[in-house]
Amino acid sequence: MRAKESKEILQKAINNENLKASELVKLYELDIFTLGEAADSIRTQKFGKKTFFNINRHINPSNICADICKFCAFSAHRKNPNAYQMSLGEIISQAYNSYQNGAKEVHIVSSHNPNYSYGWYMDMFKEVRKACPEIHIKAMTAAEVDFLDRKFNKGYKRVLEDMAEAGVDSMPGGGAEIFDEKVRAYICKGKVKSHRWLEIHRYWHSLGKMSNATMLFGHIESKEHRIDHILRLKDSQNSKERVESKSGGFNAFIPLLYQKQNNYLRVENFPSGQEILKTIAIARIILQNIPHIKAYWATLGLNLALVAQEFGADDMDGTIEFESIQSAAGAKSKNGITKQEIISQIKSAGFIPVERDSLYNEICDYTQDIPQATHANISLSNSAGNVG
């Protein structure tokens, strides 16, 4: 009876019917291949066998933070005593060198550093734009925007308007964590509130700008908390016309797997590879109004991110070049990945590697020598810690 009920809910979700989190959570009871088939069907209708990636550079200006999040291994604290803050010159130099080496995007996110002035942030964006006139600047999570609003009494709308004027092209999706207020109060008390995170993104979209959305999962949250989070994003998405014209809305949803080293959350039960893939598949099924589902290789590991392409994901993020936040908690992403390797890995998994820009305009696809891959080639029994 329960299996029949879950399959009925799956069909309703595929048909985009309005369902509650308490109903949709039953999708987790379905076997992984039933969920994978449904998610892959939606993915294939949208993008065929394409898997997207970009040439990007991550810059994290500082790890000195005014907030304390239990899950964070990046910010300077007792488990990470190596505090740092970069100068504008250092940031511009890194951005320019990557730009000269072919980066199409610079992704700038940081801690909530109380030492930087408001003008410092805006000057940073202006100087990056001056040094790298054609690069796409993706910068400032909604949590950072909220921090600047609270610290400098600007109002988040003014902060967003100033960012756009200074040259920021789009916003990343970080700081969302889990929207459930009780869980949020435990893991990141003092950080941007759930409703404010959504308000910030909606106003950014009203300015004609695009952004991403994330969800941190695999810690103390329940499966129903994940579904609630996904539904809030679905309800906050802009109109289909605005999203398709890239004039405001969420580009991609990124389920970020919690990294368990060097932080204070002390999670004992880490999700299995199957549960991770189910979460990605369910996101694809529910979020039909958000174009892309990103399997972020920096948190999933490269192998599981590739497997996720058969479970609804269509993007892996990019070369990154250098990464500090996830790697501080144990992810193997510090030095990024080369363009040649990500192309080779996508081909080996049976997909077509497509280089994109930050707004998912296609730059180049690599279609030669695509081997065939099937679900039967993949072992799904390993835990996330043993994959990739």
Answer yes or no: is pLDDT of 384 > 60: no
Tokens encoding 270? 């880490």
Cα separation, 346 vs 178, in Å, equals: 30
Answer yes or no: is pLDDT of 262 > 60: no
Given this model, what pLDDT does residue 83 score?
Answer: 81
pLDDT digits (tens, 9 = 90+) for 194-208: 999 999 999 999 999
CA distances from 355 to 103, 203, 297, 361 (A): 12, 29, 16, 9
236 vs 269 pLDDT, higher one:
236
Mean pLDDT over 287-291 rounds to 98
Given this model, what pLDDT does residue 369 score?
Answer: 53
Cα separation, 248 vs 303, in Å, equals: 32
Tokens encoding 259? 């990294």
pLDDT digits (tens, 9 = 90+) for 54-80: 999 999 998 877 667 655 655 555 555
Cα separation, 306 vs 378, in Å, equals: 10
Which residue range(s) make up the domain with 48?
2-386
Answer yes or no: is pLDDT of 274 > 90: yes
* Mean pLDDT for all residues in the chain: 87
Mean pLDDT over 158-183 rounds to 97
CA distances from 240 to 16, 22, 236, 245 (A): 14, 27, 12, 8
Given this model, what pLDDT does residue 72 score?
Answer: 61
Confidence of residue 294 (pLDDT cuts 50, 70, 90): very high
- What is the CATH number for 265? 3.20.20.70
Confidence of residue 133 (pLDDT cuts 50, 70, 90): very high
Answer yes or no: is pLDDT of 379 > 60: no
Number of domains forming the structure of the chain: 1
Other beta carbons within 10 Å of 367? 12
